[in-house]
């Protein structure tokens, strides 16, 4: 009888260990898919319209902790010279020292500092935005759209939608204020994949 109890205890110990390991999955890092990641901006123009544009080159990663989402992290790098409006002359205007000064400051970055879970699939992500050499806090309202296997790449993929409001004068961009709005609305769509392991 004692041998039977010992065997049962050993089996439960092994099973419990396996359950614990499953429940505490390690955080996973997803790398932005450039084909399905977009950052759009919208700004009011003297009350007449709300023109928009996007940045064509946005890179970054999300370290997602599914067991403890509040411990997740986001890092984003934007190539400011990749601004696209559909009008070449307007693109050059935005890349000039009146706005993004892309020659001197070719990138803008966002690094998360805190993740506040607000719902089943929503969160507020606080972080530091660095633009034109200045760093200010910005908060993203984020929705997790889906996590699963991408049917095209067969990679584990996570998709997010996010919005934020950035006050451009905080970063020294004061051209045409107040006619062109100080507050700029940001919309972000991200697909990010876990990269396949390469053979060393």
For the stretch 102-131, pLDDT in tens is 999 999 999 999 999 999 999 999 999 999
CATH classification at residue 104:
2.40.128.110
| Residue closest to 62 by CA, chosen among 188, 192, 196, 166 | 192
69: left (phi over 0), alpha (psi -120 to 50) or beta: alpha
What are the structure tokens assigned to 39, written together?
A: 């950052």
Domain of 183, in residue numbers: 27-193
**Does 55 map to a domain?**
yes
**Does 16 map to a domain?**
no
**Does 20 map to a domain?**
no
**Does 34 map to a domain?**
yes
**Does 3 map to a domain?**
no
> Does 140 have pLDDT greater than 50?
yes
**Does 66 map to a domain?**
yes
pTM: 0.84
**Does 13 map to a domain?**
no
**Does 4 map to a domain?**
no
Number of domains in the chain: 1
């Amino acid at each position: 009888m004692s041998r039977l109890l010992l065997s049962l205890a050993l089996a439960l110990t092994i099973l419990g260990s396996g359950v614990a390991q499953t429940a505490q999955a390690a955080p996973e890092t997803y790398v932005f898919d450039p084909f399905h990641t977009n950052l759009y901006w919208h700004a009011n123009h003297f009350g007449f319209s709300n023109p928009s544009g996007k940045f064509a080159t946005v890179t970054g990663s999300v370290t997602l902790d599914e067991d403890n989402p509040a411990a997740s992290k986001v890092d984003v790098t934007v190539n400011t010279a990749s601004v696209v409006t559909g009008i070449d002359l307007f693109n050059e205007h935005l890349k000039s020292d009146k706005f993004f000064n892309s020659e001197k400051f070719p990138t803008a970055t966002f690094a998360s500092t805190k993740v506040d879970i607000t719902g089943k699939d929503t969160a507020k992500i606080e972080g530091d935005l660095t633009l034109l050499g200045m760093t200010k806090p910005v908060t993203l309202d984020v929705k997790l759209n889906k996590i699963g296997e991408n049917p095209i790449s067969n990679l584990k993929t996570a998709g997010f939608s996010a919005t934020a409001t950035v006050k451009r004068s905080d970063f020294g961009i004061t051209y045409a204020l107040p006619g062109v709005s100080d507050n700029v609305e940001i919309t972000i769509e991200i697909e990010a994949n876990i990269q396949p392991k390469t053979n060393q």
